[in-house]
Structure 1
Amino acid sequence: MAALSVGAGLPARTVPSRSDWNALGRGLEGTLVRPGDASYDTARRLFNPAFDAVRPAGVAYCATPSDVIECVGFARRTNVPLTVRSGGHSYAGWSTGTGLVVDVSPMNKVGYASGRATVGAGAKLVDVYDKLAARGVSIPAGSCPTVGVSGLALGGGIGVVSRKYGLTCDVMESVQLVTADGRLLTCDADHNPDLYWASRGGGGGNLGVAVSFGFRTHPTREVTVFFLHWPWAKAVRALRAWQAWAPAVPDELWSTMHLSRDGGTDVQIGGLYLGGRADCERLLDRLADRIGPASSSYIRQTSYRQAMMIMAGCSTLSVSQCHRGGSLPGQTRDGRLSRDDFRAKSHMAYRPLSEAGAGALVAEVARPGSHTVLLDALGGAVGRVRPEATAFPHRAALYSVQYYAHRAGAAGWARAAHARMRPHFGDHAYVNYADAELGGWRAAYYGANAGRLARVKAVHDPGRLFRLPQGI
């Protein structure tokens, strides 16, 4: 992480002594990993190997809120840079830094009572889904199994049942935060409501360290998952048909469109329907009527839990295997998931693409390289919340857009594709797809909510202990 300017009220940067670090380690119930320790090279790595050159001075695996308080106090005393990590999936690499990384992975308990889930900030999505499914309930969340619930929820939380149940932040009834002054605060509609509002879409690592969440749940039932493919010659037609169909179908149906050039070009529309196969097929037939017959299809009715495993790419794995392998918190010894070296950017689509716009996007995907554009449907329950009701502002968006690229030339392709589509999509972006190169990021991520977020930040972290390159 690049060096940052010193915030108001904080002393100049100092270098903690070995005895300072040793004292911190002794004060933790969890584990402090330092350079030279056997697990250091594993502990410092994020999901994306692009940031492997960053070498933190320490990684604190915090087992309790008291551990987090200890780390925050250490950072205040020494003014060492502080970074918060839940799943380590920050697109911009801001889950690591050169100072102290506070990793909340050990705080991963998932409980349930009377319609409410209590979830530790370090819980990974695959474990949240699995443990809640055992109680016949779930929460709306994403599809990547090793993402930490904290980062997802604090940035909004677009997911596979969002059109029916809202974003992850929409079902967040409370959050416990350790703030810059070392206090553990419960934030909900009645207690610290400004922090509660800001924590629902204001992005992780900005206002404090989340340690626990309370979420409203929904009951689960059998669902239908589907994946349909069309030839590349139908790409423009499929895109225009999907963007008209996806936000307008019943809320029970969520879909995602992938335009890919990865070992060949491909048009895929997949998704999940909260209901039976026959009703799902009738809705899909309406889409096929606009595009033409699919070249291949997979439609399956299954349990909610298995549907989440399918969406995670773990349909043939156990829950334990659907993790990164290792012995550190958040990993499992039989984990089979690998890291992913990628570059990405985003847009939020507030209006449908014209035929020219659709053609431009398809042409960008067709360029040489290994990349995918992922479009996730919004609308439904997401759009029925006022933009100012939570910090997440993009309630009127029809769908989100990710430009996701691998291997040689990835950064150049993502940069060019994003710039080419800016006239069509405008300047709206998703904070959970953080983009270090994004100009005008405050307005792009937060819209009209940026001013209120800055005021909350000024009250609760006036010295800017929590500092990100794109920090509030």
Structure 2
Amino acid sequence: MDRRDFLHAAALAPLALSAPPPDWARLRGRLAGTLVLPGDAGYDSARRLYNPAYDRIRPGGVAYCANAADVSACLAFARASGVAVTTRSGGHSYAGWSTGTGLVIDVSRMSSVAYAGGRATIGSGAKLIDVYDRLSRHGVSIPAGSCPTVGIGGLTLGGGIGVVSRKYGLTCDTLESVRVVTADGRLLTCDARHHAGLYWACRGGGGGNFGVAVSFTFRTHEARDLTVFFLHWPWSKAQAVLSAWQSWGPSAPDALWSSLHLARSAGGLDVQIVGTYAGPRSALDRLLAPLVAKVGRPSSRSVRTVPYLDAMRIMAGCSSMSVAECRRMPRETFSAKSHMAYRKLPSDGVRALVNGVARGGRHAVLLDAMGGAIGRVGPAATAFPHRAAIYSVQYYAEGTDRGWVRGLHGDMSRYFGDHAYVNYIDPELGNWRSAYYGPNATRLAEVKATYDPGRLFKMPHGVV
């Protein structure tokens, strides 16, 4: 902490023991954006997240901020009134922590996407489908996720595992600078030379902890055509596919990313491998050959080379829709948990996972290959610690009943350990500090003490 930050921290530390009633009308008058209060037209829409499971939560107000000054005004209001504050980018928090009963600072209107000289500057409220669409017009992109309505803000701050991460790294790995409004209302530009600790924390330390990010500047990569593939096998092959994939996928050339899906739905049990390859179909066929030779011929196979934006829409599940329709993908009620796998499952672990998916219900386990460019970054170089993980594991169930995810996650913890991904935040996780952050938790707490000593930003799993 330098002298200037120390003085700001000292000024924030003695929080008021009591606060006057919140003056919502005064806040509304200070905003260039829109403040939506209970009883206003649009309130029911404004308070909703992506997951309808959290529709019961009723914020005291939702501020659609138009700029950084609006964010600063909201934070001043929260400091003065004692109203709890929550930040929201895309509203995809798995635990529902992008809303609350106080003031929700919504940055979705700060969604500009600009490109110049190999750099993309993106407002923190931009949805991924719009990021991909607008950058594709310049022939470039950034490594990001697959869900089209996820906000770039939350994705980046938690790390950002995506469908080209093995070649280009996590989303946060291409982040060159971030503009953050801190608890005291300052707008800081953070990079490797300015507020370097906060810049470090914003690359994997999770959203809602250190301030409100309002824009990001990323290095871009050329958006070349991608070859996308879908391979299905009968469920009788599930154990063989899992055993073979966990040796093949994380060790493939960087240009090849893949994900193994084990699912039970209304249509029955299904095992498939999906992926992207930054190269021609002929080369991909050669890379798939050893996997197919080990497992056996898939029951169905789809391989095609498409423009980069089309590949992102395919991975998003909205390939038959326009970009505008992708932006309006329907909400889904679900519950989820995660692991980060640092070693391959032994044969009994493979059997346990497959048998767990076969239990009754509608659910899936999604395993995303890591390694490649992700693993060539040191675990302390950014706040994202899981550089040695070979794949991520997501347990995902339809509906609000957490019984299946809770049970299978518990069964698999003996094999995967206690590592988890902060962007799949889990309200039931007891050891979340070490699971999300590992040895980086101590430094994150130091950054928190520097930029938010009064803990204006707090949530159940907030850095302390």
TM-score (norm 2): 0.96
The partner residue of 1:111 within 94, 111, 114 is 114
Residues 1:76 and 2:68 aligned together? no
Correspondence for 1:457: 448
Q: Distance in 2 between matches of 1:119 and 1:202?
A: 19
Q: Distance in 1 between matches of 2:96 and 2:17?
A: 24
The partner residue of 1:351 within 326, 332, 343 is 343
The 5 A counterparts of 1:183-198 are 183-198=186-201
The partner residue of 2:133 within 130, 134, 148 is 130
Correspondence for 2:431: 440
Indicate if the aligned counterparts of 1:223 and 1:274 stay in contact, CA closer than 8 A.
yes
Instruction: Please state whether the residue corresponding to 2:304 is helix, strand or coil.
Output: strand
Amino acid at match of 1:129: Y
Q: Cα distance 1:292–1:73, how it changes in 2: closer, same or farther (>3 A)?
A: same
Q: Distance in 2 between matches of 1:118 and 1:471?
A: 27
Deviation (angstroms), 1:407: 2.9
Q: Distance in 2 between matches of 1:87 and 1:64?
A: 16
Indicate if the aligned counterparts of 1:229 and 1:269 stay in contact, CA closer than 8 A.
yes
The CA deviation string for residues 341-372 of structure 1, in whole angstroms up to 9 with x for no partner, is 00000000000000100000001100001000
The 5 A counterparts of 1:40-439 are 40-263=43-266, 264-324=268-328, 337-407=329-399, 410-439=401-430
Deviation (angstroms), 1:16: 3.3
Indicate if the aligned counterparts of 1:15 and 1:80 stay in contact, CA closer than 8 A.
no
The CA deviation string for residues 182-222 of structure 1, in whole angstroms up to 9 with x for no partner, is 00000000100000000000000000000000000001111
Structure 1 segments (4+ residues) deviating >6 Å = none
Correspondence for 1:329: none
Deviation (angstroms), 1:290: 1.1
Residues 1:16 and 2:21 aligned together? yes
Instruction: Please state whether the residue corresponding to 1:102 is helix, strand or coil.
Output: strand
Give the count of matched residue pairs.
Answer: 451
Residues 1:467 and 2:461 aligned together? no
Deviation (angstroms), 1:9: 3.3
Q: Distance in 2 between matches of 1:446 and 1:82?
A: 23
Instruction: Please state whether the residue corresponding to 1:101 is helix, strand or coil.
Output: strand
Q: Is 285-294 or 364-373 further displaced after alignment?
A: 285-294
Residues 1:37 and 2:40 aligned together? yes
Q: Distance in 1 between matches of 2:346 and 2:50?
A: 36
The CA deviation string for residues 392-427 of structure 1, in whole angstroms up to 9 with x for no partner, is 00000000000000136x300000000000000000
Indicate if the aligned counterparts of 2:142 and 2:171 stay in contact, CA closer than 8 A.
yes
TM-score (norm 1): 0.94
Q: Cα distance 1:226–1:71, how it changes in 2: closer, same or farther (>3 A)?
A: same
Correspondence for 2:9: none
Q: Cα distance 1:13–1:280, how it changes in 2: closer, same or farther (>3 A)?
A: farther
Indicate if the aligned counterparts of 1:16 and 1:80 stay in contact, CA closer than 8 A.
no
Instruction: Please state whether the residue corresponding to 1:306 is helix, strand or coil.
Output: helix
Q: Distance in 1 between matches of 2:16 and 2:278?
A: 54
Q: Is 63-72 or 281-290 further displaced after alignment?
A: 281-290
Q: Is 388-397 or 277-286 further displaced after alignment?
A: 277-286
List alignment gaps of at least 5 residues for structure 1: 1-6, 325-336
Deviation (angstroms), 1:8: 6.4
Amino acid at match of 1:53: R
List alignment gaps of at least 5 residues for structure 2: 1-11
Q: Is 8-17 or 211-220 further displaced after alignment?
A: 8-17
Deviation (angstroms), 1:285: 1.6
The CA deviation string for residues 291-319 of structure 1, in whole angstroms up to 9 with x for no partner, is 11000011111000100011111101110
Deviation (angstroms), 1:34: 0.4
Deviation (angstroms), 1:10: 2.7
Deviation (angstroms), 1:253: 0.4
Q: Distance in 2 between matches of 1:407 and 1:109?
A: 34
Q: Distance in 2 between matches of 1:298 and 1:79?
A: 56
Amino acid at match of 1:162: S
Deviation (angstroms), 1:223: 1.1
Indicate if the aligned counterparts of 1:13 and 1:80 stay in contact, CA closer than 8 A.
no
Deviation (angstroms), 1:442: 0.2
Amino acid at match of 2:43: Y
Q: Distance in 2 between matches of 1:310 and 1:45?
A: 26
Indicate if the aligned counterparts of 2:20 and 2:80 stay in contact, CA closer than 8 A.
no
RMSD of aligned C-alpha atoms?
1.1
Indicate if the aligned counterparts of 1:48 and 1:342 stay in contact, CA closer than 8 A.
yes
Deviation (angstroms), 1:15: 6.8
Amino acid at match of 2:190: C
Indicate if the aligned counterparts of 2:19 and 2:80 stay in contact, CA closer than 8 A.
no
Instruction: Please state whether the residue corresponding to 2:245 is helix, strand or coil.
Output: helix
The CA deviation string for residues 321-353 of structure 1, in whole angstroms up to 9 with x for no partner, is 1122xxxxxxxxxxxx11000000000000000
Amino acid at match of 1:358: V
Amino acid at match of 1:73: A
Q: Distance in 1 between matches of 2:71 and 2:260?
A: 40
Q: Cα distance 1:457–1:301, how it changes in 2: closer, same or farther (>3 A)?
A: same
The CA deviation string for residues 423-447 of structure 1, in whole angstroms up to 9 with x for no partner, is 0000000000000000110000000
